[in-house]
Amino acid sequence: MLHSVAELLTILPLAVAGLATTPRKGKAAKLAAAKKTPTSPANSSRSRFVNRPGRPAAWPFSDGAWVGETFYLSGHLGLNPATGRPPAAPEQEARLLLDGVNKTLAAAGLTVNDLVWVQIYCSDVKLFARFNAVYRSYFKKEFPARAFLGSGPLLFGCRFEVLGIAAKP
């Protein structure tokens, strides 16, 4: 049983990818195993991890991962590369964050227009309009489905963190 929204958000991408499964026993397990094909999203040989150029190598996660035809974008922050801190202006932080998202998507052969779902964490929801003013300038087509969530403090004093899911056209 889930105990918090955070737990739900942790398993949501796995459930969407078809990776969150319940152990099966007996004939049901054998039938399920027989139905898996080499192109099944649940087949781990179809996973490929992607990192954008210039990212800190010490971070213990990938910037994104392909599972079948779906790309999962890890949380991105808008840190100034020179200081490792967010810039003073929220708009500049949003630009740095979205530039990082663009770099990761490009490393995966995608663009922001391939995003189908985005989740934005914000330490102060009063920044909603300021973030959106920058965000909307990055898209040339339809906007992806999205959530903008108040989060409390974020890593390194950031105001925003973005993660998402993209799919090949």
The pLDDT tens digits of the residues spanning 143-162 come to 999 999 999 999 999 999 99
b/e per residue, 36-68, with b = 16+ CB within 10 A? eeeeebeeeeeeeebbbeeeeeeeeeebbbbbb
pLDDT value, residue 45: 59
pLDDT at 131: 98
Please list the rounded mean pLDDT of every run of 10 residues in the chain (169 residues): 42 40 42 39 68 79 94 96 95 97 96 97 98 96 96 96 94
pLDDT at 18: 39
Distance CA 60, CA 57 (A): 8
